[in-house]
Each structure stands twice: as structure tokens, then as C-alpha cells.
């Protein structure tokens, strides 16, 4: 299933016209952050996808008849709907993957010299 995002607009047709395919929450956040020419990248904060599913049979087939609200904090407002996605991703999975990758790289840098030293001793 393709992961889709669209901005909140006045009508469903206007909203669907903004549909883009994304790789996940990180790319979705980047698109949203870069969407406002007059504001800096930090205008939207705490961008996330709500877990609750909203059924809408009017949606094209790529949306599988569902939407999850994409919300953000901005301009003093909390959890305001800025768009919709056809997938849910909490962000914790990606953060965990990034952390695991970073720890793995750290351990490699930390342990590689010791392993080489031990290999020399053993040979």
C-alpha cells in the first residue's frame, strides 16, 4: 500500500489535489515543514498522525476509504488538523530504528580497534 498524505483544504477535491506519496512520518513532517513560504521550518511543532481511523467512502481507491488526521501545534493552537494520511505511524518505530543504528555504529567504532588488537594477539 502506498503511503499518502494530503493537506487540509476547503473541499475534499481541493485537499485531494495536494496528495503526495511519502515514505513515512519523517518525510511527511519534512513536507509540512517546508510548505509555508512565509514561515520558518519550525512553525509547525509536534507533527503527528492520530491513530483514530476515519472512514470516508468518497475517497479514491489509493486511500482505501480511510483517513488518519495529521495534527500539529502552531501559532498557539494545539493538535490542529493540518492534513490527512492513509496510514498510521507513531514515530517511535523510526526513532527506535535510528537509535539502534546509531548505537550499532557507536559500538563498531568503539569495539573495532579492540577486536583487531585481539585478532593480532590470537594469531
Examine the pLDDT at 5 and tell me if it is beyond 70.
yes
More confident residue, 68 or 100: 68
Task: Work out the burial of residue 47: count CB atoms within 10 Å of its CB; fewer than 13 is exposed, 13-18 middle, 19 or more buried.
Answer: buried
Positive or negative torsion for Cα 49, 54, 57, 58: negative
Examine the pLDDT at 93 and tell me if it is beyond 50.
no
Evaluate if pTM is beyond 0.85.
no
Cβ density class 56-77: b for 16+ within 10 Å, e for less: eeebeeebeebbbbbbbebeee
pLDDT of residue 54: 97
Which helix H or strand E contains 56, and what residues bound it? Answer: none
What would the pLDDT profile of 32-91 be if each residue is shown by its tens digit? 998 887 877 788 999 999 999 999 999 999 999 999 999 999 989 999 999 999 999 997
How many helices (H) and strands (E) would you count in the chain?
3, 6
What cell numbers appear for 73 in the block? 501545534
Amino acid at each position: 500500500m502506498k503511503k499518502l498524505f494530503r493537506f487540509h483544504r476547503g473541499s475534499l477535491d481541493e485537499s485531494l489535489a495536494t496528495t503526495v506519496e511519502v515514505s513515512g512520518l519523517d518525510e511527511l513532517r519534512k513536507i509540512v515543514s517546508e510548505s509555508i513560504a512565509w514561515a520558518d521550518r519550525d512553525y509547525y511543532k509536534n507533527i503527528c498522525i492520530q491513530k483514530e481511523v476515519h472512514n470516508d467512502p468518497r475517497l479514491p481507491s489509493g486511500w482505501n476509504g480511510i483517513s488518519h488526521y495529521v495534527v500539529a501545534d502552531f501559532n498557539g493552537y494545539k493538535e490542529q488538523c493540518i492534513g490527512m494520511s492513509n496510514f498510521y505511524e507513531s514515530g517511535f518505530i523510526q526513532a527506535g530504528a535510528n537509535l539502534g543504528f546509531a548505537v550499532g555504529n557507536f559500538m563498531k567504532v568503539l569495539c573495532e580497534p579492540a577486536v583487531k588488537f585481539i585478532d593480532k594477539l590470537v594469531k
